[in-house]
Amino acid sequence: DARVTQTPRHKVTEMGQEVTMRCQPILGHNTVFWYRQTMMQGLELLAYFRNRAPLDDSGMPKDRFSAEMPDATLATLKIQPSEPRDSAVYFCASGLARGEQYFGPGTRLTVT
Amino acid sequence: GEDVEQSLFLSVREGDSSVINCTYTDSSSTYLYWYKQEPGAGLQLLTYIFSNMDMKQDQRLTVLLNKKDKHLSLRIADTQTGDSAIYFCAEEQRGFKTIFGAGTRLFVKA
What is the C-alpha to C-alpha distance for residues B81 and B83, in angstroms, rounded to an integer? 5
What is the C-alpha to C-alpha distance for residues B7 and A100, in angstroms, rounded to an integer? 23
Residue B64 has pLDDT above 50, yes or no: yes
What is the C-alpha to C-alpha distance for residues B75 and B52, in angstroms, rounded to an integer? 19
Q: Are A35 and A93 in contact (CB under 8 A)?
A: yes
Residue B1 has pLDDT above 50, yes or no: no
Q: Do A105 and B42 touch (CB under 8 A)?
A: yes
A33-39: average pLDDT = 94
**Which tens digits make up the pLDDT trace of A43-88?**
889 999 999 999 888 889 889 999 999 999 999 999 999 999 999 9
Q: Do A93 and B97 touch (CB under 8 A)?
A: no
What is the least distance, in Å, from the CA of B43 to any CA of chain A?
Answer: 6
Query: A residues 51-80 near B, CB within 8 Å?
Result: 55-56
Residue B27 has pLDDT above 80, yes or no: no
**Which tens digits make up the pLDDT trace of A58-69?**
889 889 999 999
Q: Are A82 and A54 in contact (CB under 8 A)?
A: no
